[in-house]
Structure 1
Amino acid sequence: MTLTLSQLTLYAGALFVMFLTPGPVWLATAARTLAHGWVAAIPLILGVAFGDLVWSLLAVFGLAWVVGLYPWIMVALRWIAVAVFALMGALLIRFAARPIASDSSLNRAGAWTGFLAGLAAILANPKAILFYMGLLPGFFDLSIITRADILAIALVSIAVPFLGNTGFAWLVDRARRKFSSPERLARINRVAGILLILVAVIIAVTAP
């Protein structure tokens, strides 16, 4: 395996920061938890984790092929990741109080329905698409990636959102509607924005 523990740790940290930014998955998880309890949200969370796996594998295989043909793209993608993380962080801070829309269809009962709702929420989430297809190369050198590396990336891509969303559902189940407070969401957005900018700085200073 060519990946280092520090690379995987930074990647996991960035995934966690992305999890902290409120969006469709947060709303879907909170809605199902408030309606049916946190255990009922597990199928949705599994759907989200599977969607994260799909995006990460598409990014690794697709971008690794491109980088193999044009090695210079690896450097360009890394600096694009720095710029995008910094911009996303700044925008989160700038528009921290902006509300996000909910989708009542994500709240229907049933395990299979919940799984499909979670899968749909992550596959159609622009934040996830941008992260995996545009930012993942900022963490790894895809020109020398191995099967063990791909497995490690896939496992981290599944574990972080699954654990994060499960913990969030558990908290919502106990705190009920406190997490829907505009003031709390604004505060979370500001913290997440600062952390995203910090990720950009770390990638920039560790880039070869």
Structure 2
Amino acid sequence: MTIGLSDLALYAGALVILFFTPGPVWMALTARALSGGFNAAWPLALGVVVGDALWPLLAILGVTWIVSVFDGFMTALRVVASGIFLLMGYLLIRHADRSVASDSRLTRPGMWAGFAAGVAVILGNPKAILFYMGVLPGFFDLTRVTVPDIAAIMVISIVVPLIGNLCFSLFIGRVRAILTSPLALRRTNITAGVLLIIVGLVIPFT
């Protein structure tokens, strides 16, 4: 390896700071955790891993042309992702008095729905690659990295956000577990629905 542990540690610290910056992923995790607990949120966190692996790899490989070449595709992807979250938010608000378990339209997709939502929210923000394009060169000399270097960078890029997202989902899920009254259920579902709609409205402009 051409990069040292201290460089990797500094990069991991930067990712921790990035995690604590609220954004669409936070809102999406909060919405699913409030509506279905940790079991509904952790698949989304796994879906986010796809982008957490893809964007750093593209940055390392230096494919800066992808933003311009696939600009139309990314725009379409943002629209699809936006529509998914708007629909989910609408359904939660419309059935705010019901528990999530009683609404088969929300529970039927299950784990795969959460995973797909995670993929959508992270890939629906193609500017993430611009962040990595600006950050990675500041920590590593990308002209000299080897395969083990790339593997180490990608592992950190995946593991740090994943641990943060899972812990965040667990915390929100635990808070949700104490909200058992009908009024609390209604407020929880409305809050989750509003958060999902916010995600859907934000994605096209990110």
Bin of the TM-score, shorter chain as denominator length = 0.5 to 0.7
Residue 23 of structure 1, CA deviation: 0.7
Q: 1:14/1:105 Cα in 2 relative to 1: closer, same or farther (>3 Å)?
A: farther
Let me know the Cα RMSD of the aligned residues: 2.3
Question: 2:34: which partner in 1?
Answer: 34
1:127-151 CA-to-partner distances (Å, cap 9, x unmatched) read: 6233212222111101110000000
Question: 2:82: which partner in 1?
Answer: none
Partner Cα distance (1:149, 1:19) in 2: 22
Q: Which amino acid aligns with 1:40?
A: A
Question: 1:159: which partner in 2?
Answer: 159
5+ residue gaps in structure 2? Answer: 65-84, 90-105, 177-187, 192-206
Asked if 1 retains the 8 angstrom alpha-carbon contact of 2:12 and 2:156, the reply is yes
Q: Which amino acid aligns with 1:133?
A: M
Asked if 1 retains the 8 angstrom alpha-carbon contact of 2:56 and 2:129, the reply is no
TM-score (norm 2): 0.62
Question: 2:137: which partner in 1?
Answer: 137
Partner Cα distance (2:87, 2:117) in 1: 8
5+ residue gaps in structure 1? Answer: 65-102, 181-208
Asked if 2 retains the 8 angstrom alpha-carbon contact of 1:53 and 1:158, the reply is yes
Question: 1:71: which partner in 2?
Answer: none
Identity of aligned residues (%): 55
Matched, 1:173 2:173: yes
Residue 125 of structure 1, CA deviation: 2.5
Matched, 1:52 2:52: yes
Matched, 1:149 2:149: yes
Q: 1:127/1:34 Cα in 2 relative to 1: closer, same or farther (>3 Å)?
A: farther
Residue 123 of structure 1, CA deviation: 1.6
Question: 2:117: which partner in 1?
Answer: 117
Partner Cα distance (2:136, 2:87) in 1: 30
Q: Which amino acid aligns with 2:50?
A: F
1:28-47 CA-to-partner distances (Å, cap 9, x unmatched) read: 10111011111221111011
TM-score (norm 1): 0.62
Matched, 1:8 2:5: no
Question: 2:18: which partner in 1?
Answer: 18
Partner Cα distance (1:16, 1:58) in 2: 20
Partner Cα distance (2:127, 2:16) in 1: 13
Partner Cα distance (1:165, 1:21) in 2: 12
Question: 1:100: which partner in 2?
Answer: none
Partner Cα distance (1:127, 1:15) in 2: 16
After the TM superposition, which parts of structure 1 deviate over 6 Å for at least 4 consecutive aligned residues? none
Partner Cα distance (1:134, 1:119) in 2: 23
Q: Which amino acid aligns with 2:168?
A: F
Count of residue pairs the alignment pairs up? 141
Residue 6 of structure 1, CA deviation: 1.0
3-state SS of 1:131 partner: helix
